[in-house]
């Protein structure tokens, strides 16, 4: 994926701070997606997420001299993005249904998965994929915020557990528990719907709501 070597980042940062400012474009580019999707998962709105993403990137630029290099650059950037997103949420103080930083992960949480045996194939067809994308995005948006953030970083942006934990300011154990629950919720909700995509069959009929 976005294979930025830490030493390379450190060197680029040094050069930017020494005056080669234009290099900032290249430094931030591999982080763009993660910034946006993390913010989108918090703010649930494209325009707000984009605005917050721009604000985040400008903060990263103006605070670049504060980056200590004891974490990966992207982790640092994402913690700035997260603060930006949380700050905006607090300001709006809407959507308090999920407590933002609660660590309520300790109990195992029973769940019963959707039991089905006919959905094994991943659809490859372009149209199916598009519709499937909509179903997936909607399901992820419905996850509780704490779970959604973890799914975004871990499964959408494919960050490892350590980096995800650092970016969200939670323990690795919490990442694992939340991820497990989130995936279980997604499986339970999505598997029955996605079953419609299973056989190579055109004209599936799930979109009636």
Partner 1 sequence: MRIDCKHVWEHISAYIDGEVDPVLRAEIDRHLETCEICSAVLDSTRNIVVLVADDRVFELPAGFSKRLHERIDEEINKPDPPLDSSSAEST
Contact 157, 139 (CB under 8 A): no
Nearer to partner 1, 70 or 187 (CB): 187
Nearer to partner 1, 70 or 110 (CB): 110
CB of 111 to partner 1, least distance (A): 7
CB of 94 to partner 1, least distance (A): 22
CB of 93 to partner 1, least distance (A): 26
C-alpha span between 189 and 194 (Å, rounded): 9
Contact 4, 74 (CB under 8 A): yes
Which residues, at least 6 apart from 32, have a Cβ–Cβ distance to it below 8 Å?
53
CB of 114 to partner 1, least distance (A): 7
Consecutive H or E run containing 184? helix 172-194
* Helices 6-17 & 73-92 angle (0-180, nearest 10): 70
Nearer to partner 1, 30 or 70 (CB): 30
124-127 long-range Cβ contacts below 8 angstroms, 24+ apart: 125/200
Q: Give residues in contact with partner 1 (CB under 8 A).
A: 21-22, 24-25, 28-29, 32-33, 36-37, 46, 50, 53-54, 57-58, 61-62, 108, 110-120, 122, 129, 132-133, 136-137, 140, 151, 155-156, 158, 161, 176, 179-180, 183-184, 186-187, 190-191, 194
Nearer to partner 1, 11 or 134 (CB): 134
């Amino acid at each position: 994926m976005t294979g930025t070597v830490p030493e390379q980042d450190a060197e680029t940062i040094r050069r930017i701070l020494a005056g080669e400012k234009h290099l900032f474009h290249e430094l931030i580019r591999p982080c763009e997606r993660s910034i946006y999707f993390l913010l989108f998962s918090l703010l649930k709105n494209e325009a707000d997420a984009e605005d917050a993403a721009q604000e985040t990137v400008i903060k990263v630029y103006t605070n670049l001299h504060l980056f200590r290099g004891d974490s990966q650059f992207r982790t640092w950037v994402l913690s700035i993005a997260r603060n930006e997103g949380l700050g905006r949420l607090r300001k709006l103080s809407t959507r308090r249904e999920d407590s933002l930083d609660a660590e309520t992960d300790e109990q195992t949480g029973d769940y019963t998965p959707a039991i089905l045996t006919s959905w094994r194939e991943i659809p490859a067809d372009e149209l199916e994929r598009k519709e499937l994308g909509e179903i997936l995005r909607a399901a992820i948006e419905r996850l509780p915020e704490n779970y959604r953030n973890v799914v975004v970083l871990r499964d959408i942006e494919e960050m490892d557990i350590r980096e995800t934990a650092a970016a969200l300011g939670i323990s690795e154990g919490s990442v694992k528990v939340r991820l497990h629950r989130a995936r279980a919720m997604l499986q339970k909700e999505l598997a029955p719907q996605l079953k419609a995509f299973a056989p190579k069959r055109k004209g599936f009929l799930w979109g009636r709501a």
